[in-house]
Structure 1
Amino acid sequence: MTVIDTTKDVDALTVTLTARFDAPPERVWQVWEDPRLLERWWGPPTYPATVLEHDLSPGGRVHYLMTGPGGDQHHGWWRVHEVAAPERLVFEDGFADENGTPTEDGLVTRAEVALRAEQGGTVMTVTSTFPSAEVMEQMSAMGMIEGITEAMNQIDGLLAA
């Protein structure tokens, strides 16, 4: 299994997932940098992602949609803040309308991705910070933690290809 630890810290308003991969950081970075690879793992297996716009540079944005088993579509967006390939990526993530415009629901997280070489592979840490305990609980109840865990567990297969 790719994800080796999941920590929910209610006091800090964070959820941190740690994963280990048998590939160097430069290779793992590609699953974020390449939109065709990103869409093969960003959604959980039952909600695959389609990346519609992908500008992974500071100030850039990513627009994606996830399609559920019944054909239902859920759009999302990233606003990219920091990019230091292949070690660090920081972005905001939230829900969007079909045009990629952020919704006003307040369900936004700040994601910090860190990649570090370790024992011939890479440890990737993704920390999501929530704006409030209410948003953290609402997103947890929606299955966010299980969904991102299932999504990240698809990366090993991409790296092996």
Structure 2
Amino acid sequence: MPVTDFTSNPDTRTITITAEFDAPVERVWALYADPRQLERVFGPPSHPATFVQHDLTVGAETRYYMTSPEGEKYPGVWTITAVDEPHSFSFEDAFADEQFRVNADLPVCMSTYSFEPQGERTRAVFVSTFASAEALQQVIDMGVEEGSISAINQIDGVLAA
């Protein structure tokens, strides 16, 4: 499985996920840059993602939702803050309502996805930083560990296709 480590740290208010993919950095970047590929792996298998807007350009907004088995939709918004193709991108990650307005009642985090070449493989490090330890705990309680690991572990299958 690609995920090799999941760590949450209340002192630094971070979640760090490390994964290794059986593909070069450029191929992994292409998956994250293409909304049709990304939606195949962003949500856990039980909650697939649909990206309605996606652009890895500084200042751009990505809009998506995940759909539960019962058909309930969970929207989210990324605001892209930095891009270093094909090595990393950073974004503000927020829960949203059906019109993709940020939901102020749920945690917002700053995330950086980094991709490091390891020969013909790629080491990915996903870091999310929260405003408070309470916000971090809230997403932990929502199941972010299980959901993230199951989503990321789908990536090798898409990269190989």
Fold similarity call, TM over 0.5:
yes
Counterpart position of 1:20: 20
Deviation at 1:119, TM superposition (A): 3.4
Deviation at 1:49, TM superposition (A): 0.3
Moved over 4 A (4+): none
Counterpart position of 1:65: 65
Residue 49 (structure 2) pairs with residue 45 (structure 1): no
8 Å CA contact 2:24, 2:119 repeated in 1 = no
Counterpart position of 2:3: 3
- The residue type equivalent to 1:3 in the other structure is V
Normalised by the length of structure 2, the TM-score is 0.97
Identical-pair percentage: 45
Counterpart position of 2:98: 98
Counterpart position of 2:147: 147
Deviation at 1:44, TM superposition (A): 0.5
Deviation at 1:106, TM superposition (A): 4.3
User: Unaligned 5+ residue runs, structure 2?
Assistant: none
Secondary structure of 1:42's aligned partner = coil
Residue 132 (structure 2) pairs with residue 128 (structure 1): no
- In structure 1, distance between residues paired with 2:140 and 2:5: 16
Normalised by the length of structure 1, the TM-score is 0.97
- In structure 1, distance between residues paired with 2:95 and 2:106: 9
Secondary structure of 2:8's aligned partner = strand
1:105-146, Cα deviation, whole Å (9 max, x unpaired): 141111111101113200000001111011011110000121
- In structure 1, distance between residues paired with 2:143 and 2:59: 29
What is the alpha-carbon root mean square deviation over aligned residues?
0.9
1:22-48, Cα deviation, whole Å (9 max, x unpaired): 110000011210000111111000000
Deviation at 1:101, TM superposition (A): 1.2
- In structure 2, distance between residues paired with 1:56 and 1:117: 20
